[in-house]
Structure 1
Amino acid sequence: MSFVPQVKIPATYMRGGTSKGVFLRVQDLPERAQVAGEARDNLLLRIIGSPDPYGKQIDGLGNGSSSTSKSVLLSKSSQPGHDVDYLFGQVAIDRPFVDWSGNCGNLTAAVGSFAISNGLVDADKIPENGICTVNIWQVNIQKTIVAHVPITNGQVQETGDFELDGVTFPAAEVEIEFLDPADATGSMFPTGNLVDSLDVPGVGTLQATLINAGIPTIFVNAGDIGYTGTELQSDINSDKDALAKFELIRAYGAVKMGLIKDVSEAATRQHTPKVAFVAPPVSYVSSSGKPVNAADIDVLVRALSMGQLHHAMMGTAAVAIGTAASIPGTLVNLAAGGGERQTVRFGHPSGTLRVGAQAAEVDGQWQAKKAIMSRSARVLMEGWVRVPGDCF
């Protein structure tokens, strides 16, 4: 019996924020995988090592968590005024599925750096020393993101002293601006309400803020579902009943937001919406053992991604948190003490994060203008990724 050889594809493995992923230039992919479809999905699944019934992704570059089962496709931008087109694929771990329904805010922090280093940003835009402003077109959500990438001696600066909770080592700070982060196809609050009553069979009727900013997100009060908001991953992810409850909340919230027509469709839309729970600040100890003092934060937030409590916070969910916090009357705003604000520092399982947001009410409708946060990014490995030639 003969077997096809492996093919090798130029690839870069990068950390962006509190996530890791495989970065690929579209032009470097096999021709049939350069366009949307089964071949592209199958290629990415094999690169990451999915589906893996063992949940470890041993035979690929994933690490068995939603934060590390990610792929990024980049190309020179087709949009006027933009440098790079950024398409994100969230790869399921245990089944053959790539979710293209949303963005990854954490990996956004690495997009500008990769684009500069891989010839996707015009050379005349890159200073010898200073900050390179990279205009990113986020293809999944059809939005503009601006990355401010530090440059030293004409090269991307990756080392520095910026510390990000959820990341062990310091690195260079990259400021990210999410412009007009709400979904352009509808209202930022799909139901028209800042707070809704969400009926979830087997759970009850919950107060919920359903917002589409950064990424569609369902916020509920921690106390209404039996939590304090200080939970760490082990408190939730080891409890199958808890995970099932959150998936029910997510599914019924998705229907109420108009993202799906029936709860049965939620299984084919794992990446969005997110579900999160909030509470007023109290002191707790983070997953690294670092104390988080109530006086240093405005609100507690825990969020789930791909069916698991996230070890820190998804970047896109941070945009949703910041935007919701800036609008008086949302559950996030009320948990943070109410009133008007343009910044919020929230506590998550790994520590804290500060995010700024600007929102305005126009003709009775709330509009998100901008969300800003600082992340960091670093190349971990670059070269070629190899996959069997018949896998796509």
Structure 2
Amino acid sequence: MTHVAQIKVPATYMRGGTSKGVFFRLQDLPPAAQVPGAARDALLLRVIGSPDPYGKQIDGMGGATSSTSKTVILSKSSRPDHDVDYLFGQVSIDKAFVDWSGNCGNLSAAVGAFAISGGMVEASRIPQDGIATVRVWQANIGKTIIAHVPITGGAVQETGDFELDGVTFPAAEVQLEFMDPAADEEGGGGSMFPTGNLVDDLEVPGVGTLKATMINAGIPTVFVNAEAIGYTGTELQDAINGDPKALAMFETIRAHGALRMGLIQNLDEAATRQHTPKVAFVAKPKDYVSSSGKQVAAADVDLLVRALSMGKLHHAMMGTAAVAIGTAAAIPGTLVNLAAGGGERNAVRFGHPSGTLRVGAQASQVNGEWSVTKAIMSRSARVLMEGWVRVPGDCF
């Protein structure tokens, strides 16, 4: 019996925001995986440890949650005024597919650091001490992200005193600017509100007719009111992830929202598009205890938001969904804006299961159409391990 040897692929395991993922330089991938297609997907699935019917990803680098089943491929950008191209793959845990339909806002915080360390940013653009501005082309959605990466002694500074709810230890602050985050490529002909409305009546079989704000900013997201589906907005993960009926309800809402947003042509397609859209529910501020035991007071936040990713309630908040929250909050009349008290605003602090997060957005209305110039938030990132990942040589 012959045995196939394992191969080594240069890789870096990084935390970005409240997510973790395996980062690759495009040039380091095996030739067959340097182009989009079945070979690339098969390689990344094996790296992460999917598909895993046990749902644990024991035989791979994944952590069996949507926040830790992630891959990133970076390359020097061929686009003018950009340093690096960033491609994100959300790896399904229990199914054999990689979803390329959206960005990961949290891992965006690690892209600048990886690009600098990987030699993908011109040395002349990196100060000896200060802030390096890395211009990132987000290839999944065709958008620009500006990452402001702290530099000390000519190298990326990873340690610091910036605290991020959902991350145990402090680190250096990385400010991100998501430029013109209303996606052009994701349905709706480029409209931030694909249905043309700030609030729609969304008919969901078995649930009812829900008021919904369906927005295309950061990542396509369907927002509903917590009380309309029997929640308060103070829920932690176990309250929903341990309830199969609740998860099925949210998936039904997500599928029908995707259909109304024009992201899919029939409901069956939703099963093969797990990463987008997201579904979230909002509520007015209330006191609650976060998952770490930290008390969050109603006075500390403008509203409460809980969001689902890959079929489960997220332990904190997806970075791209935070962009959607900030953008929707800046537009009077959306469900997010109304939960935050209504009116015009250029920043919002919201409560999520792990604590709070502030995100800013600059929105304006021109000829009846809303647009947003950028959304801003701070995250942190650091290298956890670097070297090679190993996979069986015949896995792709």
TM-score after normalising by structure 2: 0.99
* Aligned equivalents of 2:284, 2:12: Cα separation in 1: 40
- Offset, 1:3: 1.4
SS at structure 2 position matched to 1:376? strand
- Offset, 1:180: 0.1
Unaligned runs of 5+ in 1: none
Report 1:262-281 matches (<5 A).
262-281=266-285
Q: In the alignment, is residue 57 of structure 1 matched against residue 70 of structure 2?
A: no
| Equivalent residues, number | 392
CA RMSD, aligned part only?
A: 0.4
Alignment-derived partner of residue 229 in structure 2: 225
- Offset, 1:69: 0.1
- Offset, 1:4: 1.2
Alignment-derived partner of residue 298 in structure 1: 302
* Aligned equivalents of 1:96, 1:72: Cα separation in 2: 17
Alignment-derived partner of residue 11 in structure 1: 11
Q: Deviations for 1:46-75, whole angstroms, at most 9, x for unmatched residues?
A: 000000011110000001000000000000
Q: Deviations for 1:125-161, whole angstroms, at most 9, x for unmatched residues?
A: 0000000000000000000000000000000000000
Which residue identity lines up with residue 26 of structure 1 in the other structure? Answer: L
* Aligned equivalents of 2:130, 2:174: Cα separation in 1: 12
Alignment-derived partner of residue 338 in structure 1: 342
Which residue identity lines up with residue 263 of structure 2 in the other structure? Answer: L
Which residue identity lines up with residue 362 of structure 1 in the other structure? Answer: V
* Aligned equivalents of 1:98, 1:350: Cα separation in 2: 27
Alignment-derived partner of residue 311 in structure 2: 307
Alignment-derived partner of residue 108 in structure 2: 108
* Aligned equivalents of 2:89, 2:183: Cα separation in 1: 18
* Aligned equivalents of 2:40, 2:93: Cα separation in 1: 17
Alignment-derived partner of residue 22 in structure 2: 22
Which residue identity lines up with residue 195 of structure 1 in the other structure? Answer: V
* Aligned equivalents of 2:373, 2:295: Cα separation in 1: 34
Unaligned runs of 5+ in 2: none
Which residue identity lines up with residue 154 of structure 1 in the other structure? Answer: G
SS at structure 1 position matched to 2:210? strand
Deviation above 4 Å: which 4+ runs of structure 1?
none
* Aligned equivalents of 1:368, 1:217: Cα separation in 2: 16
Q: In the alignment, is residue 214 of structure 1 matched against residue 214 of structure 2?
A: no
Alignment-derived partner of residue 72 in structure 2: 72
Q: Deviations for 1:176-214, whole angstroms, at most 9, x for unmatched residues?
A: 000000012410000100000000000000000000000
* Aligned equivalents of 1:259, 1:291: Cα separation in 2: 38
Which residue identity lines up with residue 75 of structure 1 in the other structure? Answer: S
* Aligned equivalents of 1:261, 1:170: Cα separation in 2: 44
Alignment-derived partner of residue 202 in structure 2: 198
Which residue identity lines up with residue 382 of structure 2 in the other structure? Answer: R
Alignment-derived partner of residue 161 in structure 2: 161
SS at structure 2 position matched to 1:45? helix
* Aligned equivalents of 1:230, 1:289: Cα separation in 2: 13
* Aligned equivalents of 2:78, 2:55: Cα separation in 1: 37
Alignment-derived partner of residue 128 in structure 1: 128
